[in-house]
Amino acid sequence: MAIMDYLMTHRTHPSIDEIYLALCDEIPTLSKTTVYNTLKLFVENGAAQMLTIDEKNVCYDGDISIHAHFLCKNCGKIHDLPARLTELTSLGDKGFQVNEIHEYYKGICPACAQAPEEKMN
């Protein structure tokens, strides 16, 4: 319950390590394995999404609505974006049954784009 609560209240697309570190003081018996297994169950049962937008880290999203994700290559934050549903409708018209959608964009977020250039990576 604490892991799902964390996902729902922290819309930051956290990793297993982030969730573990946030909850381990509150739940001293918590292990990274428990966090991993719980998130795996959430994903398998459609209660959370696993994001592989960043090749180095797997992140999780408690928002299971259809939406896209944008990874800022400067600050590393993942932002939610509306999904383009036109392709989904045309796939359905052609007989395809879509069970998952992973729509990822990468670039520079507005906050980083407006930052002075010397702060950009």
Which tens digit of pLDDT belongs to each residue from 57-66? 899 999 998 8
Tell me which of 64, 85, 110 is where a domain ends.
64
Domain that residue 47 falls in? 1-64
Query: Does residue 70 share a domain with residue 56?
Result: no
pLDDT band for position 50 (50/70/90)? very high
CATH number at residue 92: 3.30.1490.190
* Paired sense of beta strands 57-61 and 49-54, if any: antiparallel
End-to-end distance of the chain based on CA atoms, in angstroms? 38
Q: How far is Cα 12 from Cα 80, in angstroms, rounded to an integer?
A: 9
Query: Does residue 13 share a domain with residue 59?
Result: yes
What total of structural domains would you count in the chain? 2
Q: How far is Cα 53 from Cα 88, in angstroms, rounded to an integer?
A: 20
Query: Does residue 82 share a domain with residue 97?
Result: yes
CA distances from 100 to 68, 71, 106 (A): 12, 19, 20
Tell me which of 64, 79, 107 is where a domain ends.
64
pLDDT at 10: 92
- Mind listing the pLDDT tens digit for each residue in 63-110? 998 899 999 999 999 999 988 766 666 777 788 887 777 889 999 999
Q: How far is Cα 4 from Cα 51, in angstroms, rounded to an integer?
A: 16
